[in-house]
Amino acid sequence: MHKTLDKSVVIRTFNSIAEIEALPGFKKENPVSPKNYKHLLGDYLFNDEVKCCLLKENDKLCNEGHKWGYVAVLTDDSITLVGNDCAQTKFDGKSKLSADRSKYLNLKKHEEGLERLRALVAYKDSALIEVQQVKADLATVQNRIYAMREKLGPQTMRHLEAIARTGAYALSVTGVTIKEYTDKKGRKREDRRTLRMTLGSIANTSFLLEERYREVLLNLSDVKKAYEEAEKLEQNVTTLKLNNLTKKMDIIDQARANALQLIELERKFAASDLSLLCYITADKAERYKAAKYALEQANQDSGKEKAKDWFTERDRHFRSQLNVTKIEV
């Protein structure tokens, strides 16, 4: 349940001690206690501490330093200061000051929420334009992914998505070393040895995951709905509702950052050594498709024979790099 806020409470935050000292009735070292407290005039928020005027049980002033507290009016209409911590902990929870403090803070939070919401609504048009731009940028990347799925084989794509989900970027292959020798009977033999080796790393693949796009697009949809709802709010809307709307509207920053990250990951992936894609599966057709795709991304001739020749050359390079006779996937 949400209580109706008391509109008789006036929110006023003093930012300097001079403002308070200029108030008619203000007195320095003016003791405040449950017996002489009347009502709150506002709160103060300073960079430097000011002394609290709470009257302790031994009839001495608290004098504890506070940067945040309240400006209180006493029964004789004079004005004094009490720190927030003291108002919270040293007054009985049933006292008028405790009740006024809770009411004041609730209303202040509500008004700050309204002000924040108004500030956001003022930028509605530019925010919604930005939402559309982010959606368009994501759609561009998604279209490239769809094209990529058409060009690469299903085994290759499944493996790339698995890499994205597990973070296991290292691409392992089997390096085969074959040495010929003649046995004691003069027969030719082969000494075949295998060893699992790391060919390279395929990183920056999480841009391929559809759920990453769903999350961003859902957030952007929430942003749009929140702006539309915010414009229809009544003054007596609950603080919880205000905070929820503000939170959704603020999501645009995170959604933009997430979208830019996906775009950047796709850029980095496209700029990486795509010849590694030829070593994801043993399927020859898919390996040649991967070679063709790698050549296309490099803006090189990607005809069928050209792709085969290029793959043969890259395979020679990797065999030399690993110092093996052949590479098996």
Q: What tens digit of pLDDT does each residue of 25-40 get?
A: 999 999 999 899 999 9
- Average per-residue pLDDT for the chain: 88
- Phi/psi region, residue 158 (left: phi>0; alpha: psi -120 to 50; beta: rest), is alpha
How many structural domains are present in the chain? 2
Q: How far apart are CA 225 and CA 305, in angstroms?
A: 53
Average pLDDT over residues 182-211: 89
Domain boundary among 75, 107, 139: 107
pLDDT, position 228: 79
Take residue 175 and report the two structure tokens written for it: 């390096």
Average pLDDT over residues 71-90: 92
Give domain status of residue 18, yes or no. Answer: yes
Give domain status of residue 33, yes or no. Answer: yes
CB distance 16 to 46 below 8 Å: yes
What SS3 class is residue 295?
helix
- In a shared domain, residues 99 and 134: no
Domain range for 92: 13-107
pLDDT, position 181: 83
Distances from the Cα of 189 to the Cαs of 60, 176, 178, 313, in angstroms? Answer: 103, 16, 10, 28
Q: Please give the single-letter amino acid code of residue 293.
A: Y
Give domain status of residue 229, yes or no. Answer: no
- In a shared domain, residues 131 and 103: no
DSSP letter for 34, please: T
Average pLDDT over residues 208-237: 83
Q: Is the pLDDT of residue 112 over 60?
A: yes
Distances from the Cα of 206 to the Cαs of 168, 170, 264, in angstroms? Answer: 12, 15, 11
Q: How far apart are CA 275 and CA 291, in angstroms?
A: 6
- In a shared domain, residues 257 and 300: yes
With bands split at pLDDT 50, 70 and 90, how would you rate the model's confidence at 93? low
- In a shared domain, residues 91 and 187: no
CB distance 155 to 281 below 8 Å: yes
- In a shared domain, residues 89 and 33: yes
Take residue 307 and report the two structure tokens written for it: 């792709």
With bands split at pLDDT 50, 70 and 90, how would you rate the model's confidence at 115? confident
With bands split at pLDDT 50, 70 and 90, how would you rate the model's confidence at 250? confident
- In a shared domain, residues 40 and 182: no
Q: What is the dihedral of CA 313, 314, 315, 319, to 10 degrees?
A: 100
Distances from the Cα of 52 to the Cαs of 65, 68, 94, 229, 262, in angstroms? Answer: 6, 10, 21, 43, 53
Q: Is the pLDDT of residue 94 over 80?
A: no
**Sign of the Cα pseudo-torsion (21, 27, 28, 30, in order):** negative
Q: pTM (2 decimals)?
A: 0.64
Please give the helix or strand (H or E) that residue 199 lies within, else none. strand 188-201
Residues above pLDDT 90, as percent of the chain = 53
Q: What is the CA radius of gyration of the chain?
A: 35
Give domain status of residue 19, yes or no. Answer: yes
- In a shared domain, residues 81 and 162: no
- In a shared domain, residues 58 and 142: no
CA atoms within 13 A on the CB side of 54: 22
- In a shared domain, residues 289 and 147: yes
Q: Is the pLDDT of residue 4 over 50?
A: no
Q: How far apart are CA 320 and CA 325, in angstroms?
A: 8
pLDDT, position 255: 86
